[in-house]
Structure 1
Amino acid sequence: MSEHTFSPAERRAIYRVIAERRDMRRFVRGAAVPEDVLVRLLQAAHAAPSVGLMQPWRFIRITDQELRRSIHALVDEERALTASALGARAEEFLALKVEGILECAELFVVALGDGRQAHVFGRRTLPQMDLASVSCAIQNMWLASRAEGLGMGWVSLFDPSRLGDLLGLPDDADAVAILCLGPVPEFPDRPQLEIDEWTVARPLDQFIAENRWTASEPA
């Protein structure tokens, strides 16, 4: 046991919050997130690792209700297009609740910041590491939200360029996530897409190999 190891209770809390994190779509209408809690969540996001310490994340808090409705309209358009692309599963997809933009207490758009091309450290051969870094920030916020008893949902059904235009993003910045945040009625004991019988999560052993690539099991 290392001297740097957390206590058993602290370790249990870490693994519990990871296991109980859910992608939430249902929120308590009219609820609020206290400002001090919101600050803690954003600080948790900002503490994420990033390649070359470039910190490529930008968090845009949406407080204008008309703007919130416009963002929802963009997502609703993409929802219909996604359904069309799914072919035989279109109606099944349309029956799913895929976002809580109009109900959640807080709405954020997360973007990759401008000027990223200047950051070469760790990105010369893997330029997409800026997105990986932003994903780490979002995951930090997600886990911290669960620890605070709040739900968060990551919405990716949108056209990035149209959302960028709506928010006035610079040409070299890119919207990558819409985050719905707030109190929720409950946290399900398994992923909602399993509950809705859309898909089933596969076990860990199908994703681990040693020394060489191992073909994945069919989905």
Structure 2
Amino acid sequence: MNKNKSDATDHNRPFSDKEAKGLYRAIHERRDVRSQFLPDPIPPDVLARLLGAAHHAPSVGFMQPWDFIVIDSTDVRQAVLSIFEKENRKAAENYQGDRNTQYKSLKLQGILESPVNLCITCDRSRGGTHVLGRNSIVETDLFSTCLAVQNFWLAARAEGIGVGWVSILDQDELASTLNLPEHVYPLAYLCLGYVSEFLDQPELEKKGWRSRLPLSDLVHGNSWGEPLTEQALDAQIRKG
């Protein structure tokens, strides 16, 4: 058989049951890790694979707006932690009484505990003034970078590496700390490392902050608030 034809056939075939189960397992067992980091370093070849997975995300107009800042400097991470602590105090003011107490008890970052941090940025000027597919929805460059984050996260779970997204940060201060150009947005600040365990539930669910919504409440048919016309699909969704 012609090798090129064989390669094309291989790329077009569905995943095997084992491969598909691995993908779904990574999706369902992915966690936002904050408290379970181990100090063990991530081998360079493993980190390179994760970055390669992120770089293979789809992007609007194939603009590939992402860059990856690998941060192992304690000084830089301490500066980022200071930004977090200031913003976290402000965030706590949104809650009163028991909810405030519960919020303050949550571990919401692992900036120093994880062996390495990663900032995934979005270069909003990449690809020039007119990027194919971005004319109507300018934010598609940010959406594209989020897909790179998700690729990275799922690949990390498959490698047994935990990832935690630190979102309680002032983005202007973070950009200044990392010396980002004005047109580059610090989209995701991630903590990375091997972990003592992956929790069986998302940590906020396990600690009673919020529960997962039923999928059946979130699927509509043809327009908002209308039931699905495909009854077999509706039955499968309600089965969970």
TM range, smaller chain: over 0.9
Residue range with higher mean Cα deviation, 174-183 or 3-12: 3-12
Unaligned runs of 5+ in 2: 1-11, 227-240
Contact kept? 2:163, 2:191, Cα under 8 Å: yes
Query: Which among 156, 170, 173 is matched to residue 167 of structure 2?
Result: 156
Quick one: which amino acid aligns to residue 85 of structure 1? N
2:145 is equivalent to residue 134 of structure 1: yes
Indicate the residue corresponding to 2:238 in structure 1. Answer: none
Task: Tell me the SS of whatever aligns to 1:55.
Answer: coil
2:29 is equivalent to residue 20 of structure 1: yes
Quick one: which amino acid aligns to residue 177 of structure 1? A
The CA distance in 2 between the partners of 1:30 and 1:16, in whole Å, is 25
Task: Tell me the SS of whatever aligns to 1:82.
Answer: helix
- Give the 3 Å change call, closer, same or farther, for CA 167–126 of structure 1 in structure 2: same
- Greater radius of gyration (CA): 2
Indicate the residue corresponding to 1:182 in structure 2. Answer: 193
> Percent identity, aligned pairs only?
41
Indicate the residue corresponding to 1:124 in structure 2. Answer: 135
TM norm structure 2: 0.85
2:53 is equivalent to residue 53 of structure 1: no
Residue range with higher mean Cα deviation, 115-124 or 103-112: 115-124
2:115 is equivalent to residue 101 of structure 1: no
Equivalent residues, number: 214
Contact kept? 2:70, 2:117, Cα under 8 Å: yes
Q: Deviation at 1:29? A: 4.0
The CA distance in 1 between the partners of 2:131 and 2:74, in whole Å, is 39
Unaligned runs of 5+ in 1: none
The superposition leaves residues 80-133 of structure 1 with CA deviations (integer Å, 9 ceiling, x where unpaired) of 111112345322211100111110021011111152462432221111111111
Residue range with higher mean Cα deviation, 108-117 or 64-73: 108-117
Quick one: which amino acid aligns to residue 5 of structure 1? P
The CA distance in 2 between the partners of 1:146 and 1:134, in whole Å, is 19
Query: Which among 20, 34, 42 is matched to residue 33 of structure 1?
Result: 42
Residue range with higher mean Cα deviation, 34-43 or 83-92: 83-92
Residue range with higher mean Cα deviation, 113-122 or 135-144: 113-122
2:14 is equivalent to residue 5 of structure 1: yes
Residue range with higher mean Cα deviation, 139-148 or 112-121: 112-121
Contact kept? 1:50, 1:133, Cα under 8 Å: yes
Indicate the residue corresponding to 1:73 in structure 2. Answer: 82
